[in-house]
């Protein structure tokens, strides 16, 4: 004569619930990073005086904002004139790739904010990602452009494998970092010629 317990009429699979939790956590992480970077932007700008480690942190932070540009290429340019330009480019590329995970995670969360003017560009990027995933990430990350955040968001939304995203992004960002670091190194030599 006890109370009969019935199984719930609607079963939610554990994997669907887990995926929803992952999406929420990823989105909250991306938003938290963006807010923290904005709040502490003045303190973060002083990290450049810490050599390669400072450059890495500035590169992570400069690329961690989603759709709010904080350039880290200026730090790479200056660091290239102070340190080994090839190593500077690699360190900067690694930091930029790690920072771009915020866009990927915002897309993975499934509720990334895409402004109305960006919807056409996003649609085009999503098509490129479906057809040429790693190549799209590499090419777009190697060029200085404001569109890469959308590519990261598209990669996350399409569940592009994170290791492939990071590898292609690291290679492209490293190419860009080396170019900027070499330009910084050459500009110092150019200025020194005129000063002497």
Nearest-angstrom CA–CA distance, 147 and 154: 11
What share of residues in the chain are helix, strand, coil (percent, to 5)? Answer: 80, 0, 20
Nearest-angstrom CA–CA distance, 123 and 101: 20
Residue 4: exposed, middle, or buried by beta-carbon count in 10 A (0-12, 13-18, 19+)?
A: exposed
Q: Where are the domains of the chain?
A: 14-195
- Token pair in block for residue 179: 């170019």
Determine if the pTM surpasses 0.85.
Answer: no
What is the mean pLDDT of each successive set of 10 residues along the chain, which is 196 residues long?
Answer: 42 55 63 58 59 89 68 83 92 94 82 57 74 88 83 84 94 96 81 62
């Amino acid at each position: 004569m006890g109370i009969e317990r019935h199984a719930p009429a609607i079963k939610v699979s554990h994997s669907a619930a887990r995926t929803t939790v992952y999406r929420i956590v990823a989105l909250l992480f991306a938003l938290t990073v963006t807010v923290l970077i904005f709040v502490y932007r003045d303190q973060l700008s002083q990290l450049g005086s810490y050599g390669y480690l400072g450059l890495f942190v500035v590169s992570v932070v400069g690329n961690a904002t989603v759709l709010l540009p904080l350039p880290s290429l200026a730090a790479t340019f200056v660091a290239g004139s102070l340190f080994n330009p090839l190593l500077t480019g690699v360190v900067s590329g690694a930091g930029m790739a790690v920072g771009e995970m915020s866009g990927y995670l915002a897309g993975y969360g499934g509720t990334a904010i895409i402004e109305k003017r960006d919807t056409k560009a996003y649609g085009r990027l999503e098509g490129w990602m479906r057809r040429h995933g790693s190549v799209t990430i590499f090419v777009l990350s190697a060029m200085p452009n404001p569109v890469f955040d959308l590519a990261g968001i598209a990669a996350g939304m399409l569940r592009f494998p994170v290791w492939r995203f990071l590898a292609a992004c690291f290679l492209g960002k490293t190419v860009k970092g080396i170019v900027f670091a070499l330009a910084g190194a050459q500009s110092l030599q150019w200025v020194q010629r005129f000063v002497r």
